[in-house]
Amino acid sequence: MSAYIAVLHKDKDSDYGVSFPDFPGCITAGSSLEEAKEMAREVLPFHVSGLLADGEAIPEPMSLDAANRHELSQGAQAFFLVEVPIEDPIVRANITVPKGLLDRIDRYAKAHHLSRSAFLTQAAQKSMRTADASIDAN
């Protein structure tokens, strides 16, 4: 398990934003501090799993001093750690998707600074959580 530094930002009249100096394209937000931290604990592992699935290298966590000097840390309100379990092996899977839908997935993922794999993983996880909640409610 590796722990990466998350940078918390809060501007007046905005949600709490979270970014990761080790992963500049990975960002999230929450309307409360707890929600922002929860979202950070969800998005970073998904982002890392997408990178691994795409065959990209995962950086070693930077030090707090290095993170504090990083451009994403300008105006930071706080720092906290997000653990990423990297032990679960990543498996490449081929799926069949209509071309139009795949194009929409790619545009959405790009607009949200995610890889295709990270987006599809997040969407599947969210769908399963929603389904599980629905089953538990019945």
**Alpha carbon separation from 23 to 17, 91, 92, 104, 111 (Å, rounded):** 14, 21, 22, 24, 16
Residues 56 and 51: their CA atoms lie apart, in Å, by 5
Position 134 scores a pLDDT of 66
Please name the CATH architecture into which domain 2-137 falls.
2-Layer Sandwich (3.30)
Does residue 38 surpass a pLDDT of 70?
A: yes
Nearest of 78, 81, 87, 85 to residue 62 by alpha carbon: 81
132: Cβ contacts below 8 Å, ≥ 6 apart: none
Break the chain into its structural domains and give their ranges. 2-137
Mean pLDDT within 101-127: 88
**N-to-C CA span, the chain:** 36
Position 90 scores a pLDDT of 65
pTM of the predicted structure, to 2 decimals: 0.60
Position 43 scores a pLDDT of 95
Percent of the chain surpassing pLDDT 90? 51
Does residue 87 surpass a pLDDT of 80?
A: no
Mean pLDDT within 7-21: 92
Position 51 scores a pLDDT of 86
Does residue 53 surpass a pLDDT of 90?
A: no
Mean pLDDT within 31-46: 94
Does residue 45 surpass a pLDDT of 70?
A: yes
Position 136 scores a pLDDT of 64
Average pLDDT value for the chain: 88
